């Protein structure tokens, strides 16, 4: 069960919103794109809420945010429903948006190096494609970002992108500041095409996000809230649910910097264990081993290409392994470890 509401209340709207970009504010934002890439990286790769929101949370981490507030509708999803993800990170200037954010496929680590952020964080994002993940569940994405009291706000609409696909470029007019963002970035998802006429399972979202990140929590200076309630590290602590043998010892195997192939430097740390039940529908825990790199899931729960239904013992298997080598540029198979 999630903890009771903790932390400070969400930041109140400032009475003096940051000014919208003055010089050149009438110039439209432009983005060159390939609609096939957008479909693959948005509609096909991201079809459920936890990975979509996870990409936005990851962006907040990279921006040195200390707090992320996620607002999810509590009733059935309608035409007017919105999902909002707001962080207090560094934000972006107008130049940042035009020269970096809207450049599809830009490799931030290659352009600016792979040095840690000002807070000492290792970057999770790399290819600049996570921005399209939300198209997997929504038809419209609004970005409002503030840096040095300079606001940039615009909307990416998937239907308009499809219409402009032959030109491979879309132009988006700048919008006035709402005044709701004083520092950082707010992403608003509209035209939500998943969960129509039914509510979102917020508990499942909490569990999904908790398991996607190992850096959420006060100890890391990175707190994530859903509808005002803090996601806690305990929500991804599956060790407490492991079964025990006749001596009372858990079915648990732990690894500490174990090199998986001698001489490569490819080392893993973490654990693998067995739950005391097999029914995933009963406890909502997806069976399998999760792979992390830089505090973010890079491989969803899997069982090494085996079929859980055919091998009954795998129905108990859970765990997480940290493999930092998959985040290095030379490793090209980080999607399937």
Domain final position from 173, 203, 231: 231
Residue 2, domain member (yes or no): no
CATH code of the domain covering residue 40: 3.30.565.10
Residue 258, domain member (yes or no): yes
Prediction pTM value: 0.79
Structure tokens at 60: 């907040």
Q: In the predicted model, is pLDDT for residue 329 greater than 50?
A: no
Instruction: Say yes or no: 189 and 255 in one domain.
Output: no
Q: How far is Cα of residue 187 from the mean position of the Cα atoms in its chain?
A: 12
Instruction: Say yes or no: 98 and 147 in one domain.
Output: yes
Distance separating alpha carbons of residues 330 and 318, to the nearest angstrom: 28
Confidence bin at 206 (pLDDT 50/70/90):
very high
Instruction: Say yes or no: 216 and 289 in one domain.
Output: no
177 Rama class: left (phi>0) / alpha (psi -120 to 50) / beta: beta
Task: Please give the share of the chain, as a percent, with pLDDT higher than 90.
Answer: 50
Residue 75, domain member (yes or no): yes
Instruction: Say yes or no: 141 and 210 in one domain.
Output: yes
Which long-range contacts does 296-302 make (Cβ < 8 Å, 24+ apart)? 296/54, 296/58, 296/61, 296/124, 296/212, 296/213, 296/214, 296/215, 297/54, 297/211, 297/212, 297/213, 298/323, 298/326, 298/327, 298/334, 298/335, 298/337, 299/334, 299/335, 299/336, 299/337
CA contacts within 13 A on the Cβ side of 292: 19
Instruction: Say yes or no: 60 and 136 in one domain.
Output: yes
Distance separating alpha carbons of residues 13 and 307, to the nearest angstrom: 51
Confidence bin at 332 (pLDDT 50/70/90):
very low
Backbone angles phi, psi at 306, to 5 degrees: -85, 165
Q: What's the pLDDT at 226?
A: 98
Residue 66, domain member (yes or no): yes
Q: How many domains does the chain have?
A: 2
Q: What's the pLDDT at 107?
A: 64
Q: In the predicted model, is pLDDT for residue 12 greater than 70?
A: no
Instruction: Say yes or no: 207 and 247 in one domain.
Output: no
Report CA torsion sign: 308, 314, 319, 321: negative
Residue 317's Cβ-count burial label (10 Å; 0-12, 13-18, 19+) is buried
Domain final position from 231, 251, 279: 231
Instruction: Say yes or no: 214 and 84 in one domain.
Output: yes
Instruction: Say yes or no: 246 and 112 in one domain.
Output: no
The whole domain housing 297 covers 237-327
H-type alpha helices, the chain: 35-38, 49-62, 94-96, 108-112, 158-163, 202-212, 280-283
Summarised one tens digit per residue, pLDDT across range 74-124 is 999 999 999 999 999 999 999 999 999 998 877 665 666 678 999 999 888
Q: What's the pLDDT at 22?
A: 43
Instruction: Say yes or no: 222 and 275 in one domain.
Output: no
Instruction: Say yes or no: 166 and 269 in one domain.
Output: no
Non-local (6+) Cβ contacts of 133 within 8 A are: 41, 42, 45, 46, 51, 52, 55, 56
Q: What's the pLDDT at 75?
A: 92
Residue 262, domain member (yes or no): yes
Instruction: Say yes or no: 241 and 227 in one domain.
Output: no
Q: What is the DSSP letter of 130?
A: G
Does 1 or 279 have the greater pLDDT score? 279
Domain final position from 231, 255, 286: 231
Report, in angstroms and rounded to the nearest whole number, the Rg of the chain calculated over CA atoms. 21
Number of residues assigned to the chain = 337
Residue 250, domain member (yes or no): yes
* Angle, vertex CA 83, rays to CA 79 and CA 84, nearest 5: 140
Q: In the predicted model, is pLDDT for residue 14 greater than 70?
A: no
* The 3-state secondary structure of 199-262, one letter per residue: CCCHHHHHHHHHHHECCCEHHHCEEEEECCEECCHHHHCHHHHECECCCCCECEEEEEEEECCC
């Amino acid at each position: 069960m999630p903890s009771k509401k903790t932390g400070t209340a969400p930041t109140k709207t400032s009475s003096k919103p940051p000014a919208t970009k003055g010089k050149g504010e009438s110039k439209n934002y432009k983005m060159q794109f390939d609609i096939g890439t957008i479909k693959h990286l948005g509609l096909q790769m991201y079809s459920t809420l936890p990975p979509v929101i996870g990409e936005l949370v990851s962006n907040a981490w990279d921006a040195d945010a200390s707090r992320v507030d996620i607002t999810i509708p509590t009733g059935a999803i309608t035409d007017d429903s919105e999902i909002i993800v707001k962080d207090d990170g560094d934000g972006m200037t107008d130049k940042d948006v035009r020269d970096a954010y809207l450049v599809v496929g830009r490799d931030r680590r290659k352009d600016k190096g792979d040095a840690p952020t000002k807070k000492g964080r290792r970057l999770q994002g790399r290819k600049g494609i996570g921005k399209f993940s939300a198209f997997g569940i929504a038809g419209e994405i609004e970005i409002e970002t503030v840096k040095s009291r300079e606001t940039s706000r615009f909307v990416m609409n998937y239907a308009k992108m499809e219409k402009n696909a032959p030109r491979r470029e879309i132009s988006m007019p700048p919008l006035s500041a709402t005044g709701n963002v004083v520092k950082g970035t707010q992403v608003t998802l509209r035209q939500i095409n998943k969960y129509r006429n039914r509510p979102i399972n917020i508990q499942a979202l909490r569990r999904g996000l908790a398991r996607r990140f190992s850096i959420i929590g006060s100890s890391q200076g990175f707190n994530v809230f859903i509808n005002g309630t803090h996601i806690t590290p305990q929500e991804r602590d599956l060790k407490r649910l492991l079964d025990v043998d006749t001596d009372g010892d858990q079915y648990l195997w732990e690894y500490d910097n174990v090199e998986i192939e001698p001489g490569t430097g490819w080392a893993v740390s973490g654990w693998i264990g067995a739950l005391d039940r097999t029914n995933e529908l009963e406890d909502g825990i997806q069976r399998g081993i999760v792979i992390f790199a830089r505090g973010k899931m890079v491989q969803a729960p899997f069982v090494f290409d085996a079929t859980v239904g055919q091998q009954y013992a795998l129905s108990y298997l859970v765990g997480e392994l940290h493999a930092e080598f998959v985040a290095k540029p030379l490793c090209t198979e980080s999607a399937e470890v």
